[in-house]
Amino acid sequence: MTFQRARSKEQREIRRQTILDTAAAMLDEMPVADLSLNELSRRVGLAKSNVLRYFESREAVLFELLERAMARWLVELPDELAKGVDPHLSARERGDQMAAVLSASLARQTVLLDLINAQPNVLEHNVSVDVVVRHKRTAIAGLATMTDLIRQYVPELGDGARTVAMMTMILAGALSSYCRPSASAAAAYEADPAVSVLRLDLRTTLEHATATLIAGTLARA
């Protein structure tokens, strides 16, 4: 794929979206750590210097992909909660159902969780303060949306709903990496069943942790 120079505002926006779409497709094939600016440039059909006209770094591209993935998930979440949480049950039971819905939903968001897990060690490096500030503001808005959804179904959480929302996302990101063992670790689990107790399933582990978090927050409230 090759491009002529984008001259109009519309052409530049199309070029920008093409870069994002290409990077998103790459994340369907590889983890965040393997996505390089050189390979992204090659697939887009632009010199690396031209890609950098639209994004100041690889990390800036990844930040935008994180925002897109989070926004897409938050659009899907309300329907999933409506189907999975019974408003007539007790607060503890609704909390358990909330944990089940969140864990099942997030376990399907492989790219989102990979990006969340990479945020402190990868995405927040090699970017300007302006990029980080803009992303943090978007993240706060997304967290507020998630908090409102949690509070809608478990209002007894009160202000603790925000902590539940934030910690659930942090746990999901961290567990997504931990629950995806390397080839050597997977072989070790097969070779010695005694150590396979450390092999965790993302959905199950996240549901248990989130349910415990919600129950503890309810007790403190």
Q: What is the CATH number of the domain that holds 21?
A: 1.10.10.60
What's residue 10's pLDDT?
A: 86
Report how many domains make up the chain. 2
Are 49 and 151 in the same domain? no
Are 199 and 126 in the same domain? yes
Q: 171 in helix, strand or coil?
A: helix
What's residue 142's pLDDT?
A: 97
Are 41 and 80 in the same domain? no
Are 16 and 123 in the same domain? no
Are 48 and 66 in the same domain? no
What's residue 6's pLDDT?
A: 54
CB within 8 Å of 199: residues ≥ 6 apart = 181, 189
Per-position pLDDT tens, the chain of length 221: 444 555 678 888 999 999 999 999 999 999 998 999 999 999 999 999 999 999 999 999 999 999 999 999 999 999 999 999 999 999 999 999 999 999 999 999 999 999 999 999 999 999 999 999 999 999 999 999 999 999 999 999 999 999 999 999 999 999 999 888 888 988 998 999 899 888 899 999 999 999 999 999 999 98
Decide which of 40, 55, 70 is a domain's last residue: 55
Structure token pair of residue 85: 């949480």
Please state at what angle helix 37-44 crosses helix 9-27, rounded to 10 degrees: 120
Are 26 and 116 in the same domain? no
Are 110 and 15 in the same domain? no
Give CA 26 to chain center in angstroms: 16
What's residue 7's pLDDT?
A: 63
Taking the C-alpha atoms of residue 136 and residue 130, their distance in angstroms, rounded to an integer, is 10
What's residue 9's pLDDT?
A: 80
The range of the structural domain enclosing residue 184 comes to 58-220
pTM here is 0.88
What's residue 185's pLDDT?
A: 87
Are 15 and 96 in the same domain? no
Decide which of 55, 79, 96 is a domain's last residue: 55
Structure token pair of residue 125: 């490096």
Structure token pair of residue 64: 């935008």
Are 110 and 213 in the same domain? yes
What's residue 1's pLDDT?
A: 46
Are 47 and 70 in the same domain? no
Q: Which residue from 146, 175, 172 is spatially nearest to 161, judged by alpha carbons?
A: 146
Extended beta strands in the chain, E state? none
Are 175 and 145 in the same domain? yes
Are 99 and 167 in the same domain? yes
Decide which of 36, 55, 74 is a domain's last residue: 55
Q: What is the CATH number of the domain that holds 126?
A: 1.10.357.10
In terms of phi and psi (left: phi > 0; alpha: psi -120 to 50; beta: otherwise), the region of 158 is: left
Taking the C-alpha atoms of residue 209 and residue 214, their distance in angstroms, rounded to an integer, is 9
What's residue 193's pLDDT?
A: 87
